[in-house]
Structure 1
């Protein structure tokens, strides 16, 4: 059984997934199945929720960044996002992510 993949355009900062390149600004172009897009959407949704937790926690000035679990969660979600985009992205997306040096060497 062949899984049908479609082209999507991803905006990392807004957590947007679009099927049309002109709908809004985008950072990466990927080819993904419906299931893969659902997984990416779930990570974006988790990031949005964690972002709100960070906003609320930001009003507690005595917690340093490296001791903040919410920041760790947000960093982890962002890393997962880049891993998925690297896996599903076009050559330009993979090259850009490699140039960032954020993914572990395989």
Structure 2
């Protein structure tokens, strides 16, 4: 059974998935099934969780970024978000993400 794909608008910075492009600023447009959308929202939640965990390390001047495991987790999940958006995105979205060079190297 084919699930119906709907158009969604993604704001990675705020972690929001919108159905109405006029509601808020967005960076990316995707076509996703309910299952695709649920997976993307889980990844966005992980980005939010790991960003909060790594925030505390930014106040420690003797800690080098990326020496803290939470920073690596944050980068991993953010890269996974961009991979998912690339997979689900329209041509403009895919080109934009490819121009960011985050798919192979990570964030």
TM-score scaled to structure 1, two decimals? 0.93
Q: Counterparts of 1:101 and 1:53 in 2: how far apart (Å)?
A: 25
Aligned to 1:38: 38
1:74 aligned counterpart, secondary structure: helix
C-alpha deviation, 1:14, in angstroms:
0.6
1:65 aligned counterpart, secondary structure: coil
Structure 1 unmatched runs, 5+: none
Aligned to 2:11: 11
Aligned to 1:56: 56
Q: Does 1:79 align with 2:69?
A: no
Q: Counterparts of 1:49 and 1:11 in 2: how far apart (Å)?
A: 16
Q: Considering only aligned residues, what root-mean-square deviation do their CA atoms show, in Å?
A: 1.3
Q: Deviations over 1:67-106 (max 9, x none)?
A: 111111111111101100100000000011111122129x
Aligned length: 105
